[in-house]
Amino acid sequence: MKNLKNKIQNRSEEYQPRLAPNRPKGGLYVEVRGDDIMKAFRKLKKKIKNAGLMEELKDRQYYRKPSEIAREKRKKSLRLIRRMTAQREDDRLMGAKRRK
């Protein structure tokens, strides 16, 4: 039993996470290496964009009624459908002139 406790303790001492020591618990994190602040800034901007934080901030800036959100969602889907059908029509005609 004592031997097992020593093994567990040794394994926990060996384990070192690869995180920076004063790293914040949540949110986005970028480490500046070699005084290259601009590279770190570009990485942070990319992480913010991929996480969708700016869009969420813009959406939450003002209150929008749920019906307004649903209406915009429907409009967006209709635009997508129109665009896809127009593209499919162009592909079907394969460059032939359309009749008007």
What are the tens digits of pLDDT across the range 3-36?
766 666 666 566 555 655 666 667 888 888 888 8
Could you say which DSSP state residue 99 is in?
P
Asked if the structure places residue 75 within a domain, the reply is yes
Check whether 70 has a pLDDT greater than 60: yes
* Cα 28 to Cα 34: distance, rounded to the nearest angstrom: 20
Question: Is residue 7 situated within a structural domain?
Answer: no
- Name the residue type at position 88: R
Report the predicted TM-score, pTM, of the whole model to 2 decimal places: 0.48
- pLDDT the model gives residue 2: 65
Q: Does a structural domain hold residue 5?
A: no
Alpha-carbon distance of 4 to 10, in angstroms, equals 10
51: CB partners within 8 A, 6+ apart: 28
DSSP 97: P
Question: Measured between alpha carbons, how far is 77 from 58 in angstroms, rounded to an integer?
Answer: 20
Domain enclosing residue 59, as ranges: 39-100
